[in-house]
Amino acid sequence: MPGKRDKADDDSRHATRRAVPSRFGMDEVLWAAWLYYEEGQKQDKIADQLGISRASVFNLLQKARDEGIVNISIDPSRIARADVALELCELSGLSECYVLPTPQDPATLANEISHLGARVLEARLHADDTIGVAWGRTVLSLSKHLTSMRHPNITVAQITGSAVATFDFSPVLCTTNIADRLSARCVNLHAPGVVSTAQVKDILLNEPEIRNHFTLLQQCTKTIFGVTQLDGETLLEQSGFMSDAALQVYRDLGAVGFAAGYFFDAEGQIVRSEFDERHITMALDDLLNVPERICIGGAPQKVGAIYGMLQARIANVLVTDETTAQSLIDHYKQRT
């Protein structure tokens, strides 16, 4: 019974405290983490050594994991190397492809893909990177799975104007979230995502501040974006980003998907319409010049869109799940 703790008890406690009086500055968290993860000691034993209860040791270890003092990570290169990924790379011309085991519960798929996306970004990230960030549920979700890390001189920049519509995965939010986790410089694009006429777009693009932003975007070493299919309900209209009518124009022109600011058809041809003239986003040529163009996304209904995107070369790195990857492989094989 815990209530029994009295002076006698306390004395006996002191006897076991010999090794590590807490006056030592050395972090108990660190201490426990070392003994547990490096030396493989049992929590009981560590509790003895530190003169605390096993439960406390558990708490210390928890803290160590939370604070990133211990890092448990899966070598991402192995995930890329997995057979399905490899086959898809060969068929599609992707330079890299990360494939997640498809979860049993489809509802968690999007979440888990963005989780893997976060790991992939972390693994590929290095000093002096400039990351162009798009917007969308997937990208926002990715930002939440990033563990705080610190590389010198990282820049995170918006590739699309800040949409004004009311939705919780705005370009600004995606960008700031990611920058925050990476302790990076955050460069927002202070312009609307869509304007009313081509003329307004021209005027804006000639504004010095916005011009500078697009110049910065040309320095991008990476971009991150999701991908949407156009059949059925999409968040493009739901979010108020564009009108149903504008979207229908693209559908009528044969577009099947949208990624990183551009529409494309089932064979990877970029589809343009009047809307492009009003959409403030990174120029296509600049986008295609970015060395690492990372697309995060997967779902059965997205397969057609992803295929088109891959053919359009919008992405050269893909993070997806196994079912989607397999469908894509099948898709490619059919065409041969």
Min CB(34)–its own copies separation in Å: 6
The CB density around residue 131, as the number of other CB atoms within 10 Å, is 25
Q: Which of 27, 30, 58, 122 binds DNA (CB under 7 A)?
A: 58
| Strand ranges, E, within 78-190 | 96-100, 130-133, 155-158, 185-187
Query: Hey, which residues does 130 pair with through a beta bridge?
Result: 155
Q: How far apart are CA 178 and CA 155, in angstroms?
A: 10
Site string for its own copies, 220-259 (x = CB under 8 A): ----------------------------------------
Cβ proximity of 252 and 239 under 8 Å: no
Closer CB to its own copies, 85 or 217, in the complex? 85
Is residue 300 involved in binding its own copies (CB under 8 A)? no
Cβ proximity of 54 and 23 under 8 Å: no
Q: Which amino acid is at 87?
A: E
Question: Residue with structure tokens 């869509």?
Answer: 194
Min CB(10)–DNA separation in Å: 6
Min CB(274)–its own copies separation in Å: 44
Is residue 252 involved in binding DNA (CB under 7 A)? no
Cβ proximity of 319 and 113 under 8 Å: yes
Min CB(25)–DNA separation in Å: 15
Residue 24, binding choice from DNA, its own copies, none, Cβ under 5 to 8 Å by partner class: its own copies
Considering only residues 9 through 48, tell me which ones interact with its own copies, judged by CB under 8 A. Answer: 19-20, 24-27, 30-31, 33-35, 37-39
Query: Hey, which residues does 296 pair with through a beta bridge?
Result: 319
Q: Which of 71, 148, 197, 248 binds its own copies (CB under 8 A)?
A: 71
Q: Which stretch binds DNA (CB under 7 A): 53-61, 74-82, 186-194, 229-237?
A: 53-61
Q: How far apart are CA 198 and CA 214, in angstroms?
A: 17
Sheet with 222-225: strands ordered across: 96-100, 317-321, 292-296, 222-225, 130-133, 155-158, 185-187
Per-residue H/E/C for 17-45: CCCCCCCCCCCHHHHHHHHHHHCCCCHHH
Q: Which of 16, 19, 42, 66 binds DNA (CB under 7 A)?
A: 42
Q: Using CB under 8 A as the criterion, which residues of the chain lie in contact with its own copies when the complex forms?
A: 19-20, 24-27, 30-31, 33-35, 37-39, 49, 64, 68-75, 78-79, 82-84, 99-104, 112, 115-116, 119, 322
Q: Using CB under 7 A as the criterion, which residues of the chain lie in contact with DNA when the complex forms?
A: 1-5, 10, 36, 42-44, 52-56, 58-59, 61-62
